[in-house]
Amino acid sequence: MFGLLRSLWSFRGYVARSILADFKTRFVRSRLGFAWVVLNPLAQVCIYAFILSGLMSSRIPGIDNTFGYAIYLLSGLLAWNLFAEIVDRLMKVFIANANTIKKVRFPRIVLPVIAVGTALINNAALFVVMCVLFALFGYPVGPQIALVIPAALLVALFAACIGLALGVLNVFIRDIEQVVPILLQVLFWFTPIIYPVNIIPERFHSLLELSPMFHIVDSYHRLIVYAQPVALDSVLYVIVLVLLLFPLALFLFRQASAEMVDVL
């Protein structure tokens, strides 16, 4: 563990330059450039809001605002997009950098760190735009919204644990890359992002609460939409999962690190 941290610290400059290079290569030929980072999720919000706002607006409790459903939707998607982007990036990170891994000697753990860092910056940009939109909607944003920062770090850690394990497995079992997007879609629809949990029958709530993303999205809704403190049991549930999954993911990565070069 400490060896990995020392390796990351010694390559901190490389990590920073790689994150910057990622932005440059993604938007070098794009007229709108970095705006695409926020336009894609905002387009998703507009589509859902246009189709479902009439049905859902009256079902969102505690929001007295014309744009109540869009506010609720944006808050949930802020959490979900960070989770999904990190899982997707880490799942593909070793295959996408196969040539670099085979030709250059460096600590491979920097590749997942770069992916997570890039996703966090993308999410921060969306967060800033979201706050601006809330101001335009006439919805007050209180100081408790600052707690979204540690919440985002917890989401990133949880997603990194899952994504790192999937990234290693994907090197050896390429079907992983085809199956995971399907599972993410299922998880998305079983998480109260585009609908409030109160429309789900009470008997199914305990089943939904097994998902860590249920608790994460609920925490975002509490902080951003309702200006309430997060539920302590929800946070502890996710923290315990991170503490269990993080060493397992690192162990899998370290055990398979040498073999990945041959398979790639």
Task: Count how many domains the chain has.
Answer: 1
Greater pLDDT, 264 or 191? 191
- pLDDT bin (cut points 50, 70, 90) of residue 109 is confident
Q: Are 222 and 229 within 8 A, CB to CB? A: yes
User: Is the per-residue pLDDT at 135 higher than 80?
Assistant: yes
Q: Which helix (H) or strand (E) holds 35?
A: none
- pLDDT bin (cut points 50, 70, 90) of residue 67 is confident
Place of tokens 């589509």: 47
- pLDDT bin (cut points 50, 70, 90) of residue 43 is confident
Range of the domain at 243: 2-263
> Region 117-124: what's the mean pLDDT?
91
> What is the C-alpha separation between 249 and 238, in angstroms, rounded?
16
Query: Which sign, positive or negative, has the C-alpha torsion 176, 177, 178, 184?
Result: positive
Q: Where are the alpha helices (DSSP H) in 57-203?
A: 68-96, 98-103, 110-137, 148-172, 176-189
